[in-house]
Structure formats: C-alpha cells, structure tokens
Amino acid sequence: MSEGFGKEKVNLNIEINQDELDKLIKKYKKIKKYMKTPIYNIRVLDGNENYVSKLIEEGREESI
C-alpha cells in the first residue's frame, strides 16, 4: 500500500464518543435512504425539498 502524499507518519490521540458517533451514523443513513426514495425525487423536481438542500449548502460553505 502506498504511503500517501507525505512520508511522515503522525500518531493522533483522539477520543471519540461512540454514542455520538452512532447517532451521527444513524442520521446519515436515514438521510441517504430518504434521498433514494421517489418522494425525494418529486420534491427536488418541484423545488420543495429543503432539508437535504440546506445540508448540502452548509457543506459547501464550510469547505470554502
């Protein structure tokens, strides 16, 4: 397997609350499941879909 961009190896000591991570994963899976439904597609075509659109906009703003 390749080393990646840098050859320096960095050890990170990060504590992650497993309960919060599980909640986040569950929410992500629900959103992805909703995006696969015909209701989502109809709302996108009508222009009435707000929930996922807002999340996508937030992601774009934070990455800029």
The tens digit of pLDDT for each residue in 12-51 reads: 888 989 999 999 999 999 999 999 999 999 999 999 999 9
**Residue 44, domain member (yes or no):** yes
**Residue 29, domain member (yes or no):** no
**Residue 12, domain member (yes or no):** no
**Residue 56, domain member (yes or no):** yes
**Residue 3, domain member (yes or no):** no
**Residue 39, domain member (yes or no):** yes
Its domain, for residue 46, covers 35-64
Structural domain count of the chain: 1
**Residue 9, domain member (yes or no):** no
Model pTM greater than 0.85? no
Question: What is the spatial distance between Cα 59 and Cα 50, in angstroms, rounded to a whole number?
Answer: 14
**Residue 46, domain member (yes or no):** yes
Task: Give just the sign of the alpha carbon dihedral 28, 31, 32, 33.
Answer: positive
